[in-house]
Structures are given as structure tokens and as C-alpha cells.
Amino acid sequence: MLRLHHVNLSIPVDGADAETAFLTDLLSYRPMELTPGTPPTALWFEGEDGTQIHLSEDPDHHPSTRAHVALELGDSLGALEERLEEVGLEYSARNGEKLRVVFCQDPAGNRWELRGTPPGSTL
């Protein structure tokens, strides 16, 4: 069975605290312990579905303008949008008949696509 295990994103050398807050406070990922031999410049996080986000400090960090991570949030998207507004994180949103998509950037400038149920939808 093919299943995504993790995505590894680069972050600036001084970006671990802000990125950790983004993943844990906004997206509800939880920190993981690193396996022996993992570089001390790495951080790992796990979602409730078992998929992981790994972060690697990169002194030459340059976020991509197109590449992104996409997450399915379902009915939780509205609550996350409220949190994004509370913390002052800019985002853009598009509504389709059965899907709302929110795009934002994390503190390191990496792009995120957050997919969920449109407001007022009865799906």
C-alpha cells in the first residue's frame, strides 16, 4: 500500500521556534523524538493520521514560489481560518461548490494549501 510518510521542509537557521509554533499551535501537529543519528538541526512532527512533517535547518533556505504542502481539514478549516486571523497570518481563500481552499505561508515562507468545507456547506 502506497501512503505518504513525511514531507521534509527547509527552514532558516533561526526559524525553529516560529515554525514549531505554526505546526503545533495552528495545525495541531505534535513534536516527535528524533531517532539516534538524526542531525540536531532537524525537527520532526506528527499529525493525528500518522503523517509527518520534518524540518531541516538550511543556511541557504529559499522557499519555493510554487511547491507546497496540502492538507485536508474538512469542517475544521473555518476554525483554522479564525486562528490565522487571530495570529495575524495572511492568507487567501477560494470557494468552490464543494471545496474551500486557503493558501498561506508558514514563518519560513513555505507555502501551505489548506482544503476544507465551504462556509454554510451541508456536505
Q: Residue 47 is part of a domain; what is its CATH number?
A: 3.10.180.10
Is 122 contained in some domain?
no
Average pLDDT, stretch 46-58? 95
**CA dist., res. 78 & res. 67, Å (int):** 24
Is 89 contained in some domain?
yes
pLDDT tens sequence across 32-43? 998 888 888 889
pLDDT tens sequence across 3-23? 999 999 999 999 999 999 999
- Split into its structural domains, the chain has a count of 1
Provide the whole-model pTM: 0.90
Domain enclosing residue 70, as ranges: 6-116
pLDDT the model gives residue 123: 52
Is 60 contained in some domain?
yes
How far is CA 90 from each of CA 49, 71, 84, 107, 109, rounded to the nearest angstrom?
A: 27, 17, 7, 11, 12
